[in-house]
Amino acid sequence: MKRRDFCRSTLAASVVAAYPFMTNAALAESSVAAVSLDGAEIELEKASIRELAEQLNGPLLMPGDTQYDYARRVWNGMHDRHPALIARCANSDDVRHAVTFARERDLLLSVRGGGHSWPGKSVCDGGLMIDLAEMNTVTANPETRRAYAQGGALLNGIDTASLQHGLVTTAGVVSHTGVGGFTLGGGYGRLNRKYGLAVDNLVSADLITADGKFRTVNAEQDPDLFWAIRGGGGNFGVVTRFEFQLHPFDRNVLSGAIIWPIEQAREVLDFYGGWYAGLSDDLYVGPAMVTMPDGVSAVVMEVVYAGDPAAGEKELAPLRKIGKPMDDGVKIQDYMVMQTHEDGTWAHGVRSYAKNGMAREFSPALIDALIESFVPDPRLAFFTHTAGGAVSRVDELATAFPHRKAETMIAVGGGWMDPAQDAEAIAIARAWFKQLEPFIGGYYANIDFDGADSKGGNYGPAYERLARIKGQYDPGNLFRLNRNIQPAS
């Protein structure tokens, strides 16, 4: 090594030792290979990388940085991608600088909120990943009954902040899911029959659009954009803060699961099919068919009653009389018991695949298909998100969420740890789901691995307006790593 090069590398090493927060990006000595929006190979000039690193309050990471491998990991262990750069944003200004950097260079861009994208779209190969993980603060105001969640917050945070004031809003069923992706895709949860979807409780949002502008959107300010983000996913910008309506709520709720042997599936599901449509908005009951690790298969009904437990006991009594349950765990308990009980099943690092579709009714034909298609495999399960109630009373075009008339979301999916099982497990899940497809239509974008919608059919009559708004706010389709809506010209 030449003496000059040795001195330069020694100086750089001493600077990093003295300032451990500095990254390779801040000290970039050469251009970096990257990928453009259309997949072409490009080079990011070292001066521009350094400039971006200096603009950010959070670190700009490159391969080789100590935080890089941690930051690029997402929930689904099936995805092992390597961005050229990761901007670990500390505030909205950081997001604005990162979006502008990507737009000016036609650089492939992904956005990571909680990192729970089933198909792994929150991380990219060769592009810039905007990482909101450090922007995770959630606060709740009991006087105004509002919760405020930053773009990288998790659902556990919004439940925890709200419940301590005797308040709640609709959150999903795995507490380490990100608030951002969950909300933008619609937001099913155990309270949606009473309080509606997450998008129905969204009051306003702060976001950075593709032009690098900071915008606060609500029903009065940029109402078209506010309409679009309520169901249109991450197509329209990076949301850095959400404001939600909260509702009074006693966290000690009648909740739990009732479990029957799989041999009683016909009796249980036939009863459910004729019973669920008449339930009150307070009662959420969702069926599943699973195989436990010991090989025992079962029918499960998950229960949450968001009202007076005594009234809930009376409404639930007919279901409890069906068959001979293996276990009945429904009792008065803290709401967070149910909100966290699936966290282990869907733990970080699990290799996971899921397909789903929307059912307008839990019909006898669908019940036949569910029973006949069931596969006793501990890696996979049939599960649901029950809707109806408050969800169905919102007009179909009041938000961009397209499935208001669906009573139930039907899914087949699961998880495993061994990469060698990927092909087999995915093939089984697809074959299983294919038998259910004649009875369902469309899909819930938040729970689907490989859903495609190039012609906008999944959005129905909302698609034309979504495409027009996309063309207005993101004409270059910078935000394309999502269930993409093509911008209208």
Residues near 104 by beta carbon (within 8 Å), at least 6 away in sequence: none
CATH architecture of 23-131: 2-Layer Sandwich (3.30)
Q: CATH number for the 138-248 domain, one of 3.40.50.12780, 3.40.50.300, 1.10.10.10, 3.30.465.10?
A: 3.30.465.10
Which residue in 481, 485, 479, 486 sits closest to 99, CA to CA?
479
Task: Give 10-residue mean pLDDT values along the chain (489 residues).
Answer: 40 41 66 96 96 97 96 97 98 98 98 96 98 98 98 98 98 98 98 98 98 98 98 97 98 98 98 96 98 97 98 98 98 98 96 96 97 98 96 97 95 97 98 96 90 75 96 98 94
Residue 10's pLDDT is 40
Residue 452's pLDDT is 66
Residue 457's pLDDT is 83
Residue 9's pLDDT is 42
Which residue in 189, 185, 193 sits closest to 230, CA to CA?
185
Q: What angle do CA 242, 136, 234 make, to 5 degrees?
A: 50
Domain 252-447 adopts which CATH fold? Vanillyl-alcohol Oxidase; Chain A, domain 3 (3.40.462)
Residue 26's pLDDT is 65
Phi, psi of 231, deg, nearest 5 = 125, -20
Residue whose entry in the numeric block shows the structure tokens 């998100």: 385
Domain boundaries, the chain: 23-131, 138-248, 252-447
Residue 30's pLDDT is 79
